[in-house]
Each structure stands twice: as structure tokens, then as C-alpha cells.
Structure 1
Amino acid sequence: MVKALWKGTVIAESDRVIQMDGKRYFPHVSINPNYYIESEKHAVCPVKGRANYYHLSVNGNFKSDGAYYFPNPNPKVKVIQNYIGFDGEIEIREE
């Protein structure tokens, strides 16, 4: 089981995590939606496509654009559609 933690709180947990380019991606269904707020930020990755972002709000702590996902990834990386990645401040722990 792999967990994503921020400020000691589990914000995603799954045994179906995908690793790509040194990052781990969690299935969208594995997140706790209470901690995620849709961001207006978007970015374009030449390999993966357009990324959308979430802010994180956990126990009174706020992290701007701490999670991201690719709603329509490029065909070569379609496997990460419906998966969420996290920035470097989010602890990823395998148990």
C-alpha cells in the first residue's frame, strides 16, 4: 500500500499507484475529496499534456497547487488519466 501524506495526514492511499518519470500517481478514487479544492491553475507538459491543479486544505493548513492531474493526457501516457500526482512537499510512503 502506498500513501501520500501532508502534514502527517493521509491524503491518498492505494495499492494501484503508477510510477512514471520518478513521480507516483494515485488513482483519483483513492483520494480523500475533503482535502482537495479545484485550482484555476493549468500548465502544459510537452510529454503528458495539459495539467489541472488542486489546492490542499488539511486540518487548517493550506497548500496552493499541491496536487495535479491530466484530464486528457497525450496518447503515449494515457495510463495516467484519472490519476493524481503531488508536488515534492507531499510525503510518499510505501507500507
Structure 2
Amino acid sequence: MPKAVWNGAVLAESETTVQVEGNHYFPPESIDRQYFRESDKQTVCGWKGTASYFDVVVGDEVNADAAWHYPDPKPEAAQIRNHVAFWKGVEVKE
């Protein structure tokens, strides 16, 4: 089962991730919200839409903008609405 881990903490774990462009997008209910803090960062993907970011916070360590999601994706990416993906050292294990 895919799970996202950073600094020894399991950030998300789910059997129902959606894979897009090599990234696992975890459903919102699989996220351990205690490790997430809203970020002001946003980026735009031509076919998915505007991504919003979270900082990942474990103890005193902060991994800025290490998780992203699409709250209002374009129709072609509707399957990842509010699902969360990771980068910047967050390890996704299968």
C-alpha cells in the first residue's frame, strides 16, 4: 500500500492513490492533517489547473511546499481533486 513518509512520520497511506505523471496522489481522507500547514505557494499546470501547496511539519522540522493538491482542477484532471502529492524529499513507498 502506498505511503508517504518524511522525517519518520507517515504523512499519508492509502490503497486508492491516483497515479498521474509518476506521482501518487493520495485521497484527502488518507492524509494525517497534523503534519500539514497551508502555504501561499501556487503553480499552474496547463492541463491540470492551479495547484496549491502545503508545508510539511514534523516536530520542529519544516519542509516548505513539499505537498501539493488541486482544489479545483480542470475537467481532464477531475480524478485528483483535493488529492495530495509529494516531493522535496518526501519518500513515497509502495
- TM interval, short-chain normalised: over 0.9
Residues 50-93 of structure 1: CA deviation (Å, up to 9, x unaligned): 00000011021100001000011111111000200111411011
Equivalent pairs counted in the alignment come to 94
Residue 7 of structure 2 corresponds to: 7
Q: TM-score, normalised on structure 2? A: 0.95
Deviating 4+ runs (over 6 angstroms): none
**In the alignment, is the contact (CA less than 8 A) between 2:17 and 2:24 conserved in 1?**
yes
SS at match of 1:76: helix
Note the 1:1-95 alignment, pairs <5 A: 1-94=1-94
User: Which has a greater percent of strand?
Assistant: 1
- The 2-side partners of 1:46 and 1:87 are apart by 19
Which ranges in structure 2 are unaligned for 5 or more consecutive residues?
none
Question: Percent of aligned positions with the same letter in both sequences?
Answer: 39
- The 1-side partners of 2:39 and 2:46 are apart by 21
Q: TM-score, normalised on structure 1? A: 0.94
